[in-house]
Structure 1
Amino acid sequence: MAHIPDGVLSAPVLVTGAILAAGGIAIGLRKLDERAIPRTGLLAAAAFAGSLLAVPVGPTSVHLLLSGLLGILIGTAAFPAMGVALFLQALLFGFGGLTTLGVNLVNVALPGVVLGLLLGPAIRATTRPTLRMGLAAVVGGGAVLGTGALVALSLAVSASAYTPVASILLATYLPLAVGEAFITAVIVAFLARVSPDALRPVLS
């Protein structure tokens, strides 16, 4: 899945991932308003809990990432939120590794943040529920596919021997992308109906 273990990736990939992850966390913390800390903590807990429900798919397993939802609701703060979740998953359950934490964080958080920033304003601005759900589904499903592509890229760049495995691994993300698209659309539609302010990131 998205949790690449220790001892798999090359040193340049690990270093690049660590630098990008540190930059993402720094930006997320700098832009995070103190009023959004409870929301960020709640979403970090949701991402952590979602990872515990793993479903076997082929040679690997899949679980909810919720990175698209985090990208919509908290923007760049998804980096520190997902960072905490991934760190605890590696420490407590052995999901991924500590040396690969930076790469794993970038692979999981970056697609959701990018799509959330791109389509989030349209999701919040539209008055058409169907369009809002469609855009949210694109963010949720697209974030998963983006994570799959980055995981495959991380493996392929580290060693050419991983290229066949990376291609197969990417295919396992397709059912998860469909599921996350649906879940993200439903949650966004619910929040828009009962608490529209929850869709507006509180940033400093």
Structure 2
Amino acid sequence: MAVDVFDDDGRPLRGEKGELVCTRPFPSMPIGFWNDPDGKRYHDAYFATFPGIWAHGDYAEITPEDGLIIHGRSDAVLNPGGVRIGTAEIYRQVEKVEGVLESLCIGQEWGDDVRVVLFVRLKDGRVLDDALRDEIKATIRANTTPRHVPARILQVEDLPRTLSGKLVELAVRNVVHGQPVKNREALANPEALSLFEDLPELRD
């Protein structure tokens, strides 16, 4: 496959993070969507970002050795202080912390900036106390940058996911910001979204 990584202006990047694209057709590329007679949904899903270039929403980086690193979904990229961060960069560190089952990270609009908020689901019997919170922050800081360290870390009992088991960062971000969530019917546990509504810890 003819893959590349583009910046926001459609220019190829090397050694920097950007949008993963396919610059030529490939055998498994769908030719359209069901019940999309004018092709608008298909176009908006894959070709709206860069005209004529397939982009499916992955945030990636091509290394100097021509390796490919996937940093997460581009629609979930965080931008604290103007620095673009892939959520996968944070997840890779959090999963090293004993006691954390899984986590979900969003960017919360805060003043004129964005702050990183991390939600964690812990193993049975574990509680997010100051010691565990400090361990999570220290692990992230030691292996990434200070910008990656969450401003808030909150424990939740469940995390919303699709029917195929994928966590849905965008839906959580919308709930935190009081915005509607589309396609709730695509979630395996839509009731989990209520855990993120109007949280006092995110008001200051």
Q: Same fold (TM over 0.5)?
A: no
Pair member with larger Rg = 2
Q: Larger % of helix: which?
A: 1
- The TM-score with structure 1 as length reference comes to 0.29
| Higher RCO structure, 1 or 2 (CA under 8 Å, sep 6+) | 1
TM value normalised by structure 2: 0.29
